[in-house]
Amino acid sequence: MDPFPYCVIDNFLSKEKFNKLTTELEITTKTVQKVFNTSLENKLIFKDTDMKKNAKELVYKMGSLEIKNVISEIIQSKNILSMRDVEDYGGYSPYHITENNGFLGSHVDHSSIKEGEFCHIANTIFYASNIWEKEWGGHTILFSRNGFSQEVKIEPIPNRLIFFIHTANSFHGVSRYYSDLKTQRRTFYHDYYVSRDEIKDVMEKVNLDRKRNLKYSLHGTTFVPFIPFGVKYIKFKKLFSLNNFKYLPTYFLYYLNRKTNSKHSNLRSVLSLKNILFLLNPIKRK
């Protein structure tokens, strides 16, 4: 349950299926969809157009009723939409690779798709590398509700599936990865959504018996600027890298929406006179 609900499932695929998948990935041509290489994120994501039989079967399974039912037990909703159910995966990619020296800083993913019609409520990650050694790193990190401290580190063991509830407090990332065998850290990723009309009831179920409630708010993918691995791991040489500053506007919008229950999608709407007066009036905000 802490820092937010999550689950780890080992040996998700049969040994035979997993071996076929990893063999297939070794020989499959990959077309890069996007490259991330900044002081807060370093990874590659790939288009699904090159995926072969076993990879497609895995993506289908991750978006299946089997997984949706596990999530349903927590959020008490039967109307879950998976990333696979959305055209072009909603603009995202199911296949990611972290190469040597790759990492992913503390962040929360996008909160919705289709202009807010569906709200992001859960993630799954499947570890598809054929081998992994503890000293290589590449752990999935679950951070505190504000993204400032590491709470849980999950080892990227081959054939392991993890899932977690995604809210505005679900900060996560990947520890720095380095394989002396130059083995890529391969993962398959999936999102899950509920309708906007359901999100209030779903959040009430998620927060049942929690001491501190998790919150849903409007935001894009948002990184914590300057401290990718939390306040205990600050590297002062990289603290004021120019790359860090480009993340500030997104983080500001995220923080504003979360704290004031507003729905700003850009800085222009925030800087209107009406909104400035609202922000400066704590009585009205309460």
- Mean per-residue pLDDT over the chain, rounded: 89
For residue 237, the model assigns a pLDDT of 66
Mean pLDDT along residues 109-130: 95
How long a stretch of residues is the chain? 286
- Give the position of tokens 């202009």: 115
Where in the chain are the domains? Answer: 6-243, 247-286
Q: What is the pLDDT of residues 168-223, one digit of tens each?
A: 999 999 999 999 898 999 999 999 999 999 999 999 999 998 989 999 999 999 99
8 A C-beta contact, residue 196 and residue 129: no
Mean pLDDT along residues 243-252: 87
Instruction: State if pTM tops 0.75.
Output: yes
Mean pLDDT along residues 223-250: 82
34 — pLDDT class (breaks 50, 70, 90): confident
Whether the ω angle into residue 282 lies within 30 degrees of 0, i.e. cis, is: no
Spatial distance between the Cα atoms of 134 and 152, rounded to a whole number of angstroms: 15
Burial 180-200 (b: 16+ CB within 10 A, else e): eeebbbbbbbbbbbbeeebbe
pLDDT at 35 over 60: yes
pLDDT at 276 over 70: no
6-243 CATH: 2.60.120.620
Q: In the structure, how many helices (H) and strands (E) does the chain have? A: 10, 14
68 — pLDDT class (breaks 50, 70, 90): very high
DSSP per position, 224-281: -SS-TT-GGG--HHHHT-HHHHTTHHHHHHHHHHHHH-----SHHHHTSHHHHHHHT-
DSSP per position, 137-164: B--EEEEPTTSSSEEEEE---TT-EEEE
Q: Tokens standing for 211?
A: 């001491």
Q: Could you tell me which residues are beta bridge partners of residue 79?
A: none
For residue 280, the model assigns a pLDDT of 57
40 — pLDDT class (breaks 50, 70, 90): confident
Mean pLDDT along residues 59-74: 92
- Determine the distance from the C-alpha atom of residue 277 to the mean position of all C-alpha atoms in its chain, rounded to a whole number: 34
